Structure 1
């Protein structure tokens, strides 16, 4: 059985507690042996190397050692799935390059319709459009990374990327924007998308 570690905040939470989403993620990833933790030192490469997948639902800035560990882990074949605020690991340039984009801002929550656009990608097999109340996260995509946009939503008169995937060294990276609260993880289409993203990132 593949192993996954899920990192987020149970204490000292500013916006997005892991409590709530943790239960849903553990159920969605039931084909994995999962470990839940708020210990950011688990981002060190020596700690991550025993896992096939790292799921980031974090909101704090990583230290130099933690960023180096995460980048090394993926470069050497690890899988990274960052969900919603989990993109916060990109506060440093090295991690932004790893993730493939940088969060810029978000307007107020509203109902968003997410549409699959990366036709033919394994992650999108059987995935149809879905709608939910969410924060419309906006990003600056790193043009130095060849990434495949998987989902888009419309807001403020334009289309915004909401999910993407790419290889990084020997590893794989997926980012999924929905996930503001636990209810976001209960949509059946999104649950399927999370699982297929995890399987792709972990090469399962």
Structure 2
């Protein structure tokens, strides 16, 4: 049984929509009956990682109260190092959409991801995603990112009215694996068959022992 733990939902991102998108992707996996999916809160991350799940999915931004004057973040220095150690020792992490946002560029987490969210133009727009075997267009936020292109494998790019950017990359890290994926923001986008198929493909890679 492969254990997947997922941290989803924050001030700007609907947790139920992310759950629906993730569950649709898991149903596409050939070994779906051998997958145990558990949703966790940010307070539970440390304890859950002690149990060495096959995959930790982070789809939550770091800021807990982004509109307040005094902004609080959930990723402490201790937890930051614990996540890095978890992957280095053989775990896998998927930083999905919001899981790329609001984390310090100096954090072990961001250094491990080899990339992070920079900004997106206001609102939703038509975004075309292009991968090795797929091209599709959905209404989405156009995530512009920083990415250490020389030290990761870029598998997805995006294009919108405001320009082109990288939308997905993956690499090995220590004994573990790291994958980053920027789509999607809306429930409709999360349930889009192309997004769902892409997410399933990356989960399969992350939990495999190849």
Question: In which range does the TM-score fall when normalised by the shorter chain?
Answer: 0.7 to 0.9
Is the aligned partner of 1:138 residue 2:144?
A: yes
1:195 aligns with 2:200: yes
Return closer, same or farther for 1:91/1:7 CA change in 2, 3 Å cut-off. Answer: same
Report the alpha carbon displacement of residue 55 of structure 1 after superposing the two structures with TM.
0.8
Q: Secondary structure at the match of 1:91?
A: coil
* Mapped pair 1:152 → 2:166: no
Residue 171 of structure 2: which of 163, 166, 191 is its match? 166
TM-score, normalised by the number of residues in structure 1 = 0.84
Match of 1:123 in 2: none
1:116 aligns with 2:131: yes
Q: Which residue of 2 aligns with 1:28?
A: 25
Q: Does the 8 Å contact 1:57/1:82 carry over to 2?
A: yes
Q: Which residue of 2 aligns with 1:18?
A: 15
Match status 1:86 vs 2:92: no
Is residue 101 from structure 1 mapped to residue 81 from structure 2 by the alignment? no
Query: 4+ residue runs of structure 1 moved beyond 3 angstroms?
Result: 155-158
DSSP-derived class of the 1:159 partner: strand
User: Does the alignment pair 1:74 with 2:74?
Assistant: no
Cα distance in 2 for residues equivalent to 1:138 and 1:50: 32
Q: Please state how far the C-alpha of 1:91 moved relative to its aligned partner.
A: 2.5
Q: Distance in 2 between matches of 1:134 and 1:72?
A: 33
TM-score of the two chains, using structure 2 as the length reference: 0.82
After superposition, the CA RMSD in angstroms is 1.9
Deviations 1:52-104 (Å, cap 9, x if unpaired)?
A: 01111112231112211111111111111111111137335211111111211
- How many residues are aligned here? 189
Q: Hey, what's the Cα distance between the residues in 1 that align with 2:116 and 2:190?
A: 23
Q: 1:3 to 1:129 in 2, by over 3 A?
A: same
Aligned to 2:184: 179
How far apart in 1 are the matches of 2:100 and 2:7? Answer: 12
Q: Is the 8 A contact 1:154 1:160 kept in 2?
A: yes
Distance 1:89 1:47 in 2: 22
